[in-house]
């Protein structure tokens, strides 16, 4: 018991132990959930295994770790240890986040249908077939979209805004760069896009009245916000009842150069973080998933989140 209590004096080991009491997990899955380095997690697991608290098994190319069930006389002290563990968890702010991240991790593991369609999408366009293209698919999907009032938040030069405007009732493109707004507005005038309006403003203080739009859209904009939670709250404010939010952003990464190269404020977000942003803002029926992984290093991944007001 004393040896175990010494081990559990480290919050990181408590977090790991709490997770493997619920699911068998690989080091890679623990990395995604805890946002820790591989060597650090492996060291903690080795210590927990040496103490007899976790066990492992090989599954294909992975090694899965789980809580080692007690044997005979150990049961009483084990139960006492679990009670201490639960009490300690209430003092670790990250533990709640870990539980939500675990759900996303299990969903990815089980979602074989998504894996199949991701593979299918990856092949789309690689082999030539007359008339089949991403452009054609995009045009089809745009035509299926009902006429909506859309806010493109953090629109940049407005490439996506102009595509949406072809079908939307109205698109309001918001960006805090005066030059971007001028460039996008001039481009819209040049091409005769009359239902696209550019407004200079901050996505954390959106210059749109409350309850005015059907769809609030962030495309790779949220990781540029100083306070992303506030930006999501603003999206909720400007949406009509029943309106929807769509967030496309980077999955959390460690590519430090992104701060200088792209002026990124945040190195992306975890699925759990984005889900919490939406939930805390008041959105319902939230879905968050990873929809793309770049083949070239540093292998940025894109997550997609949607929710209803």
Domain interval for residue 14: 2-88+95-110
Output the CA–CA distances (angstroms, integers) from residue 76 to 16, 48, 79, 80, in the order listed.
22, 19, 5, 6
Give the pLDDT confidence score for residue 77 in this predicted structure: 72
Q: What is the C-alpha separation between 251 and 274, in angstroms, rounded?
A: 10
Q: Are residues 198 and 289 in the same domain?
A: yes
Give the pLDDT confidence score for residue 282 in this predicted structure: 97
Q: Are residues 100 and 236 in the same domain?
A: no
Give the pLDDT confidence score for residue 100 in this predicted structure: 86
Mean pLDDT of 87-99: 84
Q: pLDDT by residue (tens digit) across 56-84?
A: 998 777 899 998 877 765 667 777 777 87
Whether 289 maps to a domain, the answer reads: yes
Q: Is the pLDDT of residue 110 over 90?
A: no
| Bond prior to 304 in cis (omega within 30° of 0) | no
Q: Is 72 helix (H, G, I), strand (E, B) or coil?
A: coil
Whether 18 maps to a domain, the answer reads: yes
Q: Are residues 105 and 149 in the same domain?
A: no
Give the pLDDT confidence score for residue 221 in this predicted structure: 95
Give the pLDDT confidence score for residue 151 in this predicted structure: 98
Give the pLDDT confidence score for residue 173 in this predicted structure: 96
Q: Are residues 14 and 157 in the same domain?
A: no
Q: Are residues 170 and 230 in the same domain?
A: yes
Q: What percent of the chain has pLDDT over 90?
A: 51
Q: Are residues 78 and 188 in the same domain?
A: no
Q: Are residues 301 and 223 in the same domain?
A: yes
Q: Are residues 177 and 304 in the same domain?
A: yes
3-state helix, strand, coil split of the chain in percent (to 5) is 45, 25, 30
Q: pLDDT by residue (tens digit) across 134-193?
A: 677 777 888 888 999 999 999 988 888 998 998 899 999 999 999 999 999 998 899 899
Q: Are residues 104 and 173 in the same domain?
A: no
Q: What is the C-alpha separation between 210 and 73, in angstroms, rounded?
A: 63
User: In the numeric block, which tokens belong to residue 177?
Assistant: 């760069």
Q: pLDDT by residue (tens digit) across 127-142?
A: 666 776 767 777 788 8
Q: Are residues 194 and 281 in the same domain?
A: yes
Mean pLDDT of 267-286: 94
Q: Is the pLDDT of residue 114 over 80?
A: no
Q: What is the C-alpha separation between 233 and 205, in angstroms, rounded?
A: 10
Mean pLDDT of 246-271: 90
Q: What is the C-alpha separation between 180 and 198, in angstroms, rounded?
A: 9
Whether 188 maps to a domain, the answer reads: yes
| All residues at 6 or more sequence positions from 104 whose CB lies less than 8 Å from its CB, including other chains | 270, 271, 272, 275, 288
Residue 118 has phi, psi (to 5 degrees) of: -65, -40
User: In the numeric block, which tokens belong to residue 41?
Assistant: 């997690």
- The count of structural domains within the chain is 2
Q: Is the pLDDT of residue 123 over 90?
A: no
Q: What is the CATH number of the domain that holds 77?
A: 1.10.10.10
Whether 261 maps to a domain, the answer reads: yes
Q: Is the pLDDT of residue 305 over 90?
A: yes
Give the pLDDT confidence score for residue 127 in this predicted structure: 64
Q: What is the C-alpha separation between 51 and 13, in angstroms, rounded?
A: 12
Q: Is the pLDDT of residue 125 over 80?
A: no
Mean pLDDT of 284-307: 91
Whether 211 maps to a domain, the answer reads: yes
Report the mean per-residue pLDDT for the chain.
87
Whether 183 maps to a domain, the answer reads: yes
Residue 242 has phi, psi (to 5 degrees) of: 90, -5
Of 17 and 114, which is predicted with more confidence? 17
Report how far Cα 166 is from the mean position of its chain's Cα atoms.
Answer: 28
Mean pLDDT of 105-110: 76
Give the pLDDT confidence score for residue 226 in this predicted structure: 93
Q: What is the CATH number of the domain that holds 270?
A: 3.40.50.150
User: How is 107-160 classified by DSSP, letter by letter?
Assistant: HHHH-HHHHHHHHHHHHTTTS--TT--HHHHHHHHHHHS---EEEEET-TT-HH
Q: What is the C-alpha separation between 295 and 293, in angstroms, rounded?
A: 6
Enumerate long-range contacts of 189-197, CB under 8 Å, 24 or more apart: 191/162, 193/162, 193/165, 193/166, 195/165, 195/168, 195/169, 195/170, 195/171, 196/158, 196/161, 196/162, 196/165, 196/170, 196/171, 197/170, 197/171, 197/172, 197/173
Whether 136 maps to a domain, the answer reads: no
Q: Are residues 9 and 68 in the same domain?
A: yes
Q: Are residues 296 and 202 in the same domain?
A: yes
Give the pLDDT confidence score for residue 267 in this predicted structure: 93
Q: pLDDT by residue (tens digit) across 5-51?
A: 777 788 899 899 989 988 999 999 999 899 888 999 999 999 999 88
Q: pLDDT by residue (tens digit) across 202-245?
A: 999 999 999 999 999 999 999 999 999 999 999 999 999 999 99
Whether 123 maps to a domain, the answer reads: no
Q: What is the C-alpha separation between 276 and 96, in angstroms, rounded?
A: 11
Q: What is the C-alpha separation between 253 and 266, in angstroms, rounded?
A: 9
């Amino acid at each position: 018991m004393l040896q175990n209590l010494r081990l559990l004096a480290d919050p990181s080991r408590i977090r790991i132990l709490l997770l493997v009491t619920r699911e068998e997990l690989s080091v890679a899955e623990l990395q995604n959930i805890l946002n820790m380095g591989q060597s650090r997690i492996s060291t903690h697991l080795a210590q927990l295994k040496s103490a007899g608290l976790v066990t492992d098994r090989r599954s294909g190319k992975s090694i899965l770790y789980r809580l080692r069930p007690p044997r005979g006389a150990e049961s009483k002290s084990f139960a006492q240890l679990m009670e201490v563990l639960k009490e300690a968890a209430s003092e670790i702010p990250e533990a709640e986040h870990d539980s939500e991240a675990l759900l996303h991790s299990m969903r990815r593991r089980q979602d074989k249908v998504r894996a199949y369609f991701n593979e299918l999408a990856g092949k789309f366009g690689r082999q030539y077939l007359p008339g089949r293209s991403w452009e054609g698919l995009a045009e089809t999907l745009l035509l299926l979209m009902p006429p909506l009032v859309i806010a493109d938040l953090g629109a940049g030069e407005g490439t996506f805004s102009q595509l949406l405007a072809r079908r939307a009732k109205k698109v309001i493109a918001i960006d805090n760069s005066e030059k971007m707004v001028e460039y996008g507005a001039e481009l819209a005038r040049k091409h005769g896009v009359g239902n696209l309006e550019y407004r200079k403003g901050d996505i954390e203080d959106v210059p749109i009245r409350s309850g005015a739009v059907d769809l609030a859209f962030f495309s790779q904009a949220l990781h540029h916000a100083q306070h992303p939670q506030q930006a999501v709250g603003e999206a909720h404010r400007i949406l009509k009842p029943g309106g929807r939010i769509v967030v496309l952003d980077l999955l959390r990464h460690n590519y430090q150069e992104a701060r200088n190269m792209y002026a990124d404020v945040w190195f992306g977000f975890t699925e759990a973080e984005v889900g919490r942003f939406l939930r805390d803002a008041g959105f319902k029926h939230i879905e968050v998933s990873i929809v793309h992984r770049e083949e070239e290093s540093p292998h940025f991944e894109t997550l997609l989140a949607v929710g209803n007001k």
